[in-house]
Structure 1
Amino acid sequence: MTRSTPTKPQANPGAKPRVIHPWPLRLTHWLNAVAVVMMIGSGWQIYDASPIFGFTFPPLITIGGWLGAAIAWHLAMMWLLVVNGLIYFLWSATTGHFRKIFPLSPRAFWHDLTAALTFNLKHEPGVYNAVQKLLYFGVLCAGVVIVLSGLAIWKPVQLWFLTDALGGFVIARYVHFFAMAAIAGFLFIHLLLVAMVPKVLPPMITGGRIEP
């Protein structure tokens, strides 16, 4: 009697390819990118008008040209960031997208960080590794802090309770600056990772497909 060998399961011919990045995620991602870059550039112009440290930013990398225009750009992009951020949070909460970021364990982070530093980190389309999870969680927290501290600086009288909670107007400026620095650092690392793994960029533009 001959022994039959198990056959490899066949893919469902009727199954449709899965989109890696749905359009709401792509849209909010790129709108956030525009808003954040514009806010950082205009924020540097505003900072230069009243520095809190012993340096200023070169005019070439600021946006607005002068204080009034920089404030106008900053406020316009603030509303884009807030509205777009709320849409992202609602979409992520209702679709389960946040499950891609949580849970996050220190052991998994250390494992993936070591693999990334030795260029041995494998990338699966649509799956976040532990390093990405921590970066995304961190930038989400920094985004909340920068909005709250920005409101405290913008309306210190009307929102006195928020300004007081942050330690006063001067301390709120420091909080706002360091939150900006955290977001700028995230952007640098994010672009560096994209440069290291360029195949992740096209799906964020087209959506990408994973065959069933």
Structure 2
Amino acid sequence: MKKIREKHSLAMRWFHWINFPVLAVMIWSGMLIYWASDTYKIQIGNNLVFHFFPEGFYNYFHISRRLAEGMAFHFLLMWFFALNGFLYVLYTIISGEWRALVPERKSFKEAWLVLLHDLHIRKSTPPQGKYNAAQRIAYTAIIVMGFGSLVSGLAIYKPVQFYWVCWLCGGYHFARIIHFALTIGYCLFFLIHIVQVILAGWRNFQSVITGFETVKEDKIVNDLANNHEEAH
């Protein structure tokens, strides 16, 4: 017998769907700012491997000569990004959602099993609660990355007023490298996250929109038992 149960609370869905467009526009506006001084590249000796980014990239996305526009969007949306992130972390602590999100000691081992299963190398399904081990690691990492972006962003934005933040980041130039590296990390996370959503299927995606999922009654009993074990 199948039943409908709540999987994602309204608050969690709001935080998720607010953060997605805010972060996407921040990445876009950050690229407009970076174009003014696109100094980063991968080089072995005197041989250039890759330059962030090729000229064709800027031309295709019409990024050139839009520094002021990029700064305006970036500095405005950073407050929404910071507030949404703060409320999200606060909610997970107060509601107890952190228990389902924070990686456990066994999560790193189980994450490998999740990867093998997604690659169709391992047939048996890895342990799955509300989130599997790989999701726990990824979602916790994105919170840490968000904090890193905020701190390094402040160091770049106001290096004199927040001189101590700039110092903690290793100086202005290193803070800029951290900020850029985290942006690349977000892009990789988006890519992997979208692939995972496709692999998980429409029902999983639907639950992130509606907050509910249809499950068998025996699965509900097993999940309640797992949640009871996690709480203790």
Residue in 2 that maps onto 1:5: none
Q: Hey, what's the Cα distance between the residues in 1 that align with 2:197 and 2:119?
A: 14
Summarize the Cα distance change of 1:27–1:71 in structure 2 as closer, same or farther, 3 Å threshold.
same
Q: Hey, what's the Cα distance between the residues in 2 that align with 1:61 and 1:171?
A: 27
Q: For 1:71-110, what aligned pairs fall within 5 Å after superposition?
A: 71-104=71-104, 105=106, 106-110=108-112
Summarize the Cα distance change of 1:118–1:101 in structure 2 as closer, same or farther, 3 Å threshold.
same
Summarize the Cα distance change of 1:166–1:203 in structure 2 as closer, same or farther, 3 Å threshold.
same
Q: Percent identity?
A: 31
Note if 1:206 corresponds to 2:210.
yes
Residue in 1 that maps onto 2:36: 49
SS at match of 1:110: helix
If you compute each CA radius of gyration, which structure gives the higher value, 1 or 2?
1
Residue in 1 that maps onto 2:22: 35
For the 8 Å contact 1:153–1:172, the answer to whether it is kept is yes
Letter in structure 1 aligned against 2:131:
Y
Q: Hey, what's the Cα distance between the residues in 2 that align with 1:123 and 1:31?
A: 30
Whichever structure has more strand as a proportion of its residues is 2
Deviation of the 1:18 alpha carbon:
2.9
Q: Hey, what's the Cα distance between the residues in 2 that align with 1:72 and 1:88?
A: 25
Q: Hey, what's the Cα distance between the residues in 2 that align with 1:123 and 1:59?
A: 44
Note if 1:133 corresponds to 2:136.
yes
Residue in 1 that maps onto 2:45: none
Residue in 2 that maps onto 1:181: 184
Residue in 2 that maps onto 1:70: 70
Letter in structure 1 aligned against 2:206:
P
Summarize the Cα distance change of 1:25–1:62 in structure 2 as closer, same or farther, 3 Å threshold.
farther
Range with greater deviation from structure 2 (194-203 or 167-176): 194-203
For the 8 Å contact 2:114–2:126, the answer to whether it is kept is no
Q: Hey, what's the Cα distance between the residues in 2 that align with 1:40 and 1:195?
A: 23
User: What is the TM-score when the length of structure 1 is the normalising length?
Assistant: 0.84
Note if 1:118 corresponds to 2:115.
no
Summarize the Cα distance change of 1:130–1:168 in structure 2 as closer, same or farther, 3 Å threshold.
same
Range with greater deviation from structure 2 (182-191 or 192-201): 192-201
SS at match of 1:18: strand
Deviation of the 1:52 alpha carbon:
2.2
Letter in structure 1 aligned against 2:52:
F
Aligned length: 199
Range with greater deviation from structure 2 (107-116 or 52-61): 52-61
Residues 166-206 of structure 1, C-alpha deviations (whole Å, 9 max, x = no match): 11111110010001111111111000111122221111111
Q: Hey, what's the Cα distance between the residues in 1 that align with 2:8 and 2:140?
A: 18
SS at match of 2:52: coil
Range with greater deviation from structure 2 (35-44 or 124-133): 124-133
The alignment yields a C-alpha RMSD, in angstroms, of 2.5
Gaps of 5+ in 1: 1-9
